Amino acid sequence: MSNKNLIQIKQFCVYHEIENTFIKELNNYGLVEIIIEKDDEYLQPEQLPAVEKMIRMHYDLNINLEGIDAIYHLLNKIETLQQHLTNTQNKLRLYEERLTD
């Protein structure tokens, strides 16, 4: 994997003015995946929005890592349920359209 698309954790932490250990703790909880390449640690760009939300939860709202873990998993569950609901509504709409034709 080329590291040109990866985000170096050191730089990310400097930019956000946080400790590197916070990202490592998120990794320990399974909330982010750290990629190690050439003795350096990276995040995938797709993870940035979620990591930035977790940073705000922790540093702005004083939510501990256990709370972030619970909130993150609940938000993912809500998103999944919303997707299922939308799919079901779309199928129902198609069924209703067929009945009126």
The pLDDT tens digits for 47-87 are: 999 999 999 999 999 999 999 999 999 999 999 999 999 99
Better-scored residue on pLDDT, 82 or 97: 82
**CATH classification number, 3-100, choose in 2.40.50.140, 3.30.160.270, 1.10.1040.10, 1.10.1660.10:** 1.10.1660.10
Query: In which residue are the tokens 């509504």 written?
Result: 89
Pairing mode, if any, of strands 35-37 and 7-8? unpaired
pLDDT given at position 2: 54
Task: Tell which residue, 8, 16, 14, 5, has the closest CA to residue 54.
Answer: 16
pLDDT at site 3 = 56
Residues 53 and 60: their CA atoms lie apart, in Å, by 10
- pLDDT average, residue stretch 1-15: 85
